[in-house]
Amino acid sequence: MSILTNGWAAYDEKAIFKPIKFKRSALKDNEILLKTLYSGICHSDIHQAKNEWGRTVYPIIPGHEIVGEVIEIGKNVKDFKIGDYAGIGCMINSCKTCNACLESKEQFCENGVVWTYNSCNHYDDNEITKGGYSDKIKVREDFAIKIPQNAPLNLIAPLFCAGITTYSPLKFSNIKNNDNVAIAGFGGLGIMGFKYAKAMGANVSIIARNNKKKDIALKLGANEYFDDVKKINKKFDMILITIPAKYDINDYLKILKYGGEIAIVGLPPINEDVSIKVNQLMPMAHKKIYGSLIGGIKETKEMLDFSLKHKIYPEVKLIKANEINQAYDELLNSGSDFRYVIDFNE
Ligand code: NDP
Ligand code: ZN
Ligand code: ZN
């Protein structure tokens, strides 16, 4: 039987959210159904609601930082029971047989990963996926992350995207004690990257574009806070760039040490993309730049364990679903809090 769901959708590039009722296809034998408790607002939701990456199918129901309670299970489900808490991040399906999937890098599935929203579930019934700005969501059990009963549910939804997206490159770059790390862009992702890099022992500086969050950064233990990358006169071992808009990558290469690494996770709109000239790269003495895309399911579980163990949580502001439009405005016009999370508990 199909699943009647209440959600919030944007209908065109103006990205104004209105209530929507829709049906999800019937629960499969290997799927669990969650009642949504909390759903974070990621800047990727904004990019896609506004069609800034050029592949949005409307109406779009975003949301890929989801904490929910299991209310129904398919008959072959082994690891979840009714009443468990589960998290869903950016993916709900993949082939599970290709080399990437076998290494639990499902985000790079060679046969195509299915994103939590705005994606076609081509392994199943070709449904266009609809995300966590809704009161119910279903997922294959092996794409759900078990949440311990005593976890702070109201804080952890953003871990399933902002958390894993910043944890993964810091691990990939092998950040350790006393490394000098800079986080560029101090929003929902940036603050998580900052907290993880500190927990890994690094000296962490923030690169922003104004002084609005300077006090909180210093209070949280930032080594230094820069309001303009062009004014920086020191060099870092690693820079994690979370900026969602156009910037000059050369500004960051200049402040990277010999042999250092830049990990890029921010994804600007396609018409504001960032580029690099080979003639500028050559004198940059073995400096490395790589992109990073969320993290696989195995690493997401590791990130959740690490976060709960070290009590690393986002800075969350809970809102009601009818405040999504206001939250988008604030995120786009600065002065925003770090992570808006929609509270579905009534
Ligand atoms: P937020 O809007 O929460 O934060 C973005 C931050 O970047 C803001 O603090 C903003 O500053 C800052 N910023 C903007 N321009 C500059 C600049 N030129 N220099 C320094 N700082 C700047 O966004 P999120 O953290 O949610 O997402 C960030 C990006 O990461 C998005 O593009 C998103 O799509 C992408 N993303 C990528 C993923 C991946 O797997 N690779 C996964 C998840 C997200 P201010 O406070 O002044 O506005
Ligand atoms: Zn996200
Ligand atoms: Zn695969």
Q: What are phi and psi of 306, to 5 degrees?
A: -60, -45
Structure tokens at 208: 């922003």
Beta strands per DSSP E along 172-315: 180-184, 203-207, 225-226, 236-241, 256-264, 288-291
Calculate ∠ Cα 12-23-27, nearest 5°. 130
Cα–ligand 2 centroid distance for 237 (angstroms): 26
Cα–ligand 2 centroid distance for 278 (angstroms): 30
* pLDDT reported for residue 335: 65
* pLDDT reported for residue 333: 87
Q: Where are the alpha helices (DSSP H) in the chain?
A: 43-49, 99-102, 153-156, 162-172, 188-199, 214-219, 249-253, 278-281, 297-310, 324-332
Q: Which atom of ligand 1 is the closest one to the Cα of 210? A: 47
User: Using 50, 70 and 90 to split pLDDT, how confident is the model at 86?
Assistant: very high
Average pLDDT over residues 70-81: 98
Ligand 1 pocket by Cβ (under 6 Å): 42-44, 47, 161, 165, 184-190, 207-210, 242-245, 247, 265-267, 292-294, 331, 334
Query: Considering the chain, what is the average pLDDT of its residues?
Result: 96
231-271 residue pLDDT tens: 999 999 999 999 999 999 999 999 999 999 999 999 999 99
Q: By alpha-carbon position, which residue is closest to atom 20 of ligand 1?
A: 208
Cα–ligand 2 centroid distance for 266 (angstroms): 10
* pLDDT reported for residue 281: 84
147-181 residue pLDDT tens: 999 999 999 999 999 999 999 999 999 999 999 99
**Range of lowest pLDDT (181-190, 224-233, 250-259, 278-287):** 278-287
CB 334 within 8 A of CB 210: yes
- Domains defined for the chain, CATH in brackets: 3-161+295-343 (3.90.180.10), 163-291 (3.40.50.720)
**pLDDT surpasses 80 at 334:** no
Q: Which atom of ligand 1 is the closest one to the Cα of 331? A: 2
**Range of lowest pLDDT (28-32, 167-171, 285-289):** 285-289
Mutation to probe ligand 1, out of 267, 290, 329, 336 (largest number of atoms < 8 A from CB): 267
Cα–ligand 3 centroid distance for 242 (angstroms): 27
What is the C-alpha to C-alpha distance for residues 190 and 62, in angstroms, rounded to an integer?
21
What is the C-alpha to C-alpha distance for residues 146 and 70, in angstroms, rounded to an integer?
10
